[in-house]
């Protein structure tokens, strides 16, 4: 009885060992994709209100910043966060992207003024 169990265990170990040998390549691929995904998720602060497209500063932002996709948007006034909350994730992302582009434009304008 004990001998058959031992033999069964040995057989299972062999089977388990062979699948372990076959899988490392697959494991490697999964790991690689995962590390790529975390790299892409760097959060960008957007200092243009996605609702009014007004410039926002850290001092006078209203409500809590909201993260959508890889953007963190800040609101210019108290009436904007409720409007934002009613948008669909797709609309939020579109507005965050538009606000981000405005942000880049105003940054460029600010740096050209200094010159």
Interacting residues toward Zn ion by CB under 5 A: 49, 52, 76-77, 80
- Nearer Cβ to Zn ion (62/67): 62
- Residues in Cβ contact with 62 at an 8 Å cutoff, skipping those fewer than 6 apart: 75, 76, 77, 78, 80, 81
- Nearer Cβ to Zn ion (42/59): 59
Closest separation between CB of residue 77 and Zn ion, Å? 4
CA dihedral 16, 21, 24, 26 (to 10 degrees): -80
Closest separation between CB of residue 33 and Zn ion, Å? 38
């Amino acid at each position: 009885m004990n001998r058959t169990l031992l033999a069964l265990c040995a057989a299972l170990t062999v089977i388990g060992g062979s699948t372990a040998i076959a899988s490392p390549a697959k494991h490697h691929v999964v790991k690689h994709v995962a590390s790529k995904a975390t790299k892409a998720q760097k959060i960008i602060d957007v200092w243009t209100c996605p609702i009014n497209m007004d410039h926002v500063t850290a001092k006078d932002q209203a409500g809590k910043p909201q993260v959508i996709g890889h953007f963190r948007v800040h609101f210019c006034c108290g009436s904007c966060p409720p409007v934002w909350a009613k948008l669909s994730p797709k609309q939020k992302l579109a507005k965050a992207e538009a606000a981000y582009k405005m942000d880049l434009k105003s940054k460029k304008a600010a740096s050209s003024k200094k010159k």
